[in-house]
Amino acid sequence: MYDVCIVGSGAGASPIAYELTKAGFKVVVLEKGDFYKEEDFSKDEIAYCRRSIVTPNLYKEYHLVEEFEDGKWKKTPTFKSKWDFFNGNIVGGASNFMSGYFHRLHPKDFRLLSEFKAIKGANIANWPITYQELEPYYEKVERVVGISGEVSYYPFLEPRSTKNFPYPPLKEHPIASFIDKTCKKMGINPVKTPRAILSKPNGKRNSCYYSNFCGSYGCSSGAKSSARAALLQKIINKKNFTLKIFSHVTKFTAKKDYVKEVEYIDLKAKKVKTIRAKLFVLAAGAIESSRILLNSKSGYFPNGLANNSKNVGKNLIFSAGGVVTAEIDEDVMDLRDLMIKGLFINRSIKDWYFIEDKKGGICDILFEHENPILRANRVKYQNEKLLWGEELYKKIYERFNKKRVLNCEIFNDWLPNDNCFVSVDPNYKDIYQMPVAKIRIFSHKHNQKIGNILADKCIFFLKELGAKNIEKFITPYPPTNLQAGGIRFGNDPKKSVLDKNCKAHEVKNLFVTDGSFMPTGGSVPFTWTIYANSFRVADFIKKEFSF
Amino acid sequence: MFPKTKSFPSAKEFKAIEYLKFVASDDSFDKEDLKLLKRGAFILKEKFSYKFDLSFDEKEKILRSFEKSDIGAKWLERVLNYTLEALFSDPIYHGNENEIGWKSFRFTPGIPRPKICFGKKYV
């Protein structure tokens, strides 16, 4: 019997494992994938970007996506659409493959409903905790997980308990100074983007070696602050810590209002097994966590575990926004400087986090990823005509050598609504005969409205910078790697699944600590907040439970 | 579709066929794509009378007319996709021979390069 059994090993799971193991709890982590270490990763575009190697084969495990088309809800399995919502099923989860653009939420994000006018059709709710309650844990992530950067002023700068980041900023590409100059000319405050990447070594983790292949790839130096490199590898040899890989959790078994055991498939032995523990922590990623609860039906929980209030799966959110792309060539800066690879731009614009009486968002500025196959594929069409031969060769050569694509990635709130949720349908099962998650997706029109306001501001900025061929892409389609919500926390057990400490209202010994708890997502990537909240929950468990 | 030019290699030189044969034999290759690649090639040969010994212009004409059909457009897109994979993937996948793709497009690969295909772990 374990004290604590944790389902998943990513950013929501690992702070719990790390803290509770250090505190002497007997901890087991169940991860459905393999254990890759620094030496196992490479910059192989085929393996990490173009095949499902570190995510399930979609013909074996998939999602069913429901979209509103021609007046009705249309279901498409993801093995048909290739729209993959899995993001990294190995130890450390998707954090292995993140780019690590880290931003804190703003204090007002914790009480959006009180701060702004209600929006029709949006289920906005205040958080049951304040920014001040989470702040010490944001700081802890900077130190323990590792964030590099330098605090830069902007009008909505979040209050900080420490003066600056524990790691200095990473080395910057020469274009950063052009961006700063342009921003200043326009009265914009450029922010040095905090990154979950070490700029100097710490213990067994080396500093960043500027490989130029960061996002989507595992890190070979340990600099990227994945849950694995930053947390799990530090406790892996502790006697009271067990990591079970290839362990695919299917459901929990509950006895009345507490979880007795978790059932999983040992994928190597091809056997169904169970594990008993005093406490269970679920952190399999927003969509899969909802699915596991919904598939865990019992006499006491006929709608799925912790779901007598019928809130599980509801109010799934993503990050809204999109991207404005542009080309930079030698008219803006010296071509040799422009073509310097590996160094980061690390600039964000956060002046538009609030726009008059509205919630706005942020823009991260970065070069397009280096991936040659992806970039070559991007130029293969000209006016809907497929190019090949010399014509295509010339375009690829130019894209690789004569210019660089600069992206302004826009993040704004994805409004939670009644038509964005996870459910299960017994007619659609994976190869393990478990119903897959059905994801109904609906983007509130307000998402695109704000996204377009931000995109237009980015276009002004890019024009001033001298960029060419500026195009904006603000769509109602969610980014599959930025998922949260579905298992909301809140004070009212009728309207939320979890209490303020992320313990299920209806279950005595179940916590959920991935991004599912978030009632609203802020206008930034979620990972820093997921890490911070998980450290907060770990402190609560340490205080409240002793075995 | 990928003839040799003054500066760039032909599909034959960068081993596009060898690449495709190799990756298509792995479990990770999309099975719908494999079906499409075979079916499209069959239609191109049978219904469009495509032959390798036709002149460049004749072949171009046939491919452009094939492109007008639904399957033709899909097939050509997939063929291009996998040819570009052959051109720019690591030579361990049997394409990009002697890094000819990287060299002719002045591309620098990321380090570390893969020692084993398909992201398998080094044991």
Cα gap B66→B63, rounded to integer Å: 5
Whether A43 sits inside 8 A of B8 (CB atoms) is no
> Is A373 in Cβ contact with B105 (below 8 Å)?
no
Measured CA to CA in angstroms, residue A13 lies from A141, A154, A519, A534 at distances of 14, 32, 19, 7
d(CA B58, nearest CA chain A) in Å: 15
| Residue A186 near residue A461 (C-beta atoms within 8 A) | yes
**First-residue to last-residue Cα distance in chain B:** 40
A residues 65-94 closer than 8 Å to B (CB): 82
Give the Cα separation of A82 and A63 in Å (integer): 10
Partner-chain contact B84 A377, CB within 8 Å = yes
The pLDDT of residue A547 is 76
For residue A433, the model assigns a pLDDT of 96
Contacts of B3 in chain A (CB under 8 A): 389-390
- Cβ of A115: how many Cβ atoms within 10 Å? 16
pLDDT (0 to 100) of residue B50: 85
Element (H, E) at B31: helix B31-46
| Phi and psi at residue A263, to the nearest 5° | -105, 135
Contact A43 B119 (CB under 8 A): no
Q: Which residues of B touch A (CB under 8 A)?
A: 1-3, 5, 7-8, 23, 27-31, 67, 73, 76-77, 80-81, 84-85, 87-90, 93, 102, 105-115, 117-119, 121-122
Which of chain B's residues have a Cβ under 8 Å away from the Cβ of A373? 84-85, 88-89
Q: What tens digit of pLDDT does each residue of A453-475 get?
A: 999 999 999 999 999 999 999 99
Q: What is the pLDDT of residue A546?
A: 85
A360 CB contacts (<8 Å, ≥6 apart)? A352, A353, A354, A412, A450, A453, A454, A523
Tell me what the pLDDT averaged over chain A comes to: 97
For the stretch A321-352, pLDDT in tens is 999 999 999 999 999 999 999 999 999 999 99
Instruction: Determine whether A331 is exposed, middle or buried from the number of CB atoms within 10 Å of its CB (0-12, 13-18, 19+).
Output: exposed
- Pick the residue from chain B with its C-alpha nearest to A381: B77
Angle CA B23–B56–B90, to nearest 5: 25
CA dihedral (B64, B70, B74, B75) positive or negative: negative
Closest chain A CA to residue B80:
A388
CA distance A53 to chain B (A): 7
Strands (E), A245-360: 247-255, 258-266, 271-282, 314-328, 347-349, 354-355, 358-359
Query: Who's near A203: CB < 8 A, 6+ residues apart?
Result: A234
Q: Lay out the sheet containing A72-77: strands in order across.
A: A72-77, A64-69, A435-440, A421-429
Residue A499 to residue A153: CA distance in whole angstroms: 35
Query: Which residues in chain A are contacts of B122 at CB distance < 8 A?
Result: 39-40
Q: Which of B88, B113, B121 sits opposite A43 (nearest CB)?
A: B113
Are A496 and A488 in contact, with CB atoms under 8 Å apart? Answer: yes
- Smallest Cβ–Cβ distance between B121 and the set A36, A217, A390 belongs to A36
Helix axes A14-22 and A527-544, enclosed angle (nearest 10): 30
- Give the residue from A334, A339, A460 showing the smallest Cα distance to A404: A339
Q: Tell me whether residues B110 and A390 touch, CB distance under 8 A.
A: no
* pLDDT at residue A384, rounded to an integer: 85
pTM: 0.98
Q: Best mutation site among A39, A213, A245, A388 for testing chain B: the one with the most B CBs within 10 Å?
A: A388
The token pair that represents B101 in the structure block: 């793709």
Instruction: Summarize pLDDT for B27-79 with one digit per residue, the tens.
Output: 999 999 999 999 999 999 999 988 888 998 999 999 999 999 999 999 999 99
User: Is the Cα torsion angle A443, A445, A449, A450 positive or negative in sign?
Assistant: negative
With residue A293 as reference, give the H or E element that holds it.
Answer: helix A286-295
CB-facing half-sphere around the CA of A20: CA atoms within 13 A: 32
Query: At residue A117, does pLDDT exceed 90?
Result: no
Residue A74 has pLDDT above 70, yes or no: yes
Please report the ipTM that was assigned to this predicted complex. 0.97
Q: How many CA atoms lie within 13 A of A15 on its CB side?
A: 32
pLDDT of A55 reads 96
Q: Which helix (H) or strand (E) holds A81?
A: helix A78-81
Cβ atoms A68, A419 nearer than 8 A: yes
Q: What letter would DSSP give residue A69?
A: E
- Model confidence pLDDT, tens digit, residues A478-531: 999 999 999 999 999 999 999 999 999 999 999 999 999 999 999 999 999 999
Q: Are A143 and A165 in contact (CB under 8 A)?
A: no
- C-beta atoms of B84 and A44 within 8 A: no
Distance separating alpha carbons of residues A93 and A46, to the nearest angstrom: 19
Give the residues across from A258 on adjacent strands: A255
Contact assessment for residue A18 and residue A27, using Cβ atoms and an 8 Å cutoff? no
Per the CB < 8 A criterion, the answer to whether A335 and A319 are in contact is no
The answer on pLDDT for A311 being more than 70 is yes
Q: Identify the three-state secondary structure at position A84.
A: coil
Q: What is the 3-state secondary structure (H, E, C) of A514-536?
A: CHHHCCCCCCCCCHHHHHHHHHH
A43 to B89: CB separation less than 8 angstroms, yes or no: no
Q: Do A47 and B119 touch (CB under 8 A)?
A: yes
**Within 13 A of A224's CA, how many CA atoms are on the CB side?**
28
Q: Which of B23, B110, B121 faces A212 most closely, judged by CB atoms?
A: B110
Measure the N-to-C terminal CA separation of chain A; round to a whole number of Å.
11
Whether the predicted pLDDT of B123 surpasses 70:
no
Span A71-88, average pLDDT = 96
All residues of chain B having their beta carbon less than 8 Å from the beta carbon of residue A41 are 112
**A62 interfacial to chain B (CB closer than 8 Å):** no
Task: Say whether B118 and A47 touch across the interface (CB within 8 A).
Answer: yes
